Amino acid sequence: MFEITTNHYLVLSAMLFVIGLVGILTRRNMIVVLMSIELVLNSVNLNLAAFSYQYSDLTGQIMGVFVIAVAAGEAAIGLAILVGLYRLRGTTSLDHASELKG
C-alpha cells in the first residue's frame, strides 16, 4: 500500500528543487538566497542517492559527497561576499547591489 519507488523520490526532489528556486528568484535578503541555494543542492543529492539505490551503483553516492564538498565551499565564499556587501552598504538586501544594472 505504501510502496515507495524511485519516482516518489524524484517528485520529492523536484519539489525541494522548485522551492529552493523560488527562494533564489524572489527573496531580497541575500542570506535567505544562499540558504535556498543550499536547498537546491540538497535536492540534487537526494536525486543522486535515489538513482544510486535504483541501480545499486555507488557512483551516485560518491557524486553526492562531491556535491556536499562544493556546497560547503560555495557557502563559505557566498557568506564572505555577504559580509563584504554588509560592510559596503550596511544592509544584506540584494536591491542595494545594483552597480552592474544597465
Sites for another protein among residues 72-91 (CB under 8 A): 72-77, 79-84, 86, 90-91
> All 3 cell numbers of residue 61?
553516492
Contact 41, 67 (CB under 8 A): yes
21 vs 24: CA distance, rounded Å: 5
CB of 32 to another protein, least distance (A): 5
Of 5-64, binders to another protein (CB under 8 A) are: 5-12, 14-16, 18-23, 25-29, 31-32, 34-36, 38-39, 42, 45-46, 49-50, 52-54, 56-59, 61-62, 64
Contact 16, 46 (CB under 8 A): yes
| Cβ-based nearer residue to another protein, 1 or 100 | 1
- 97 contacts another protein (rule: CB under 8 A): no
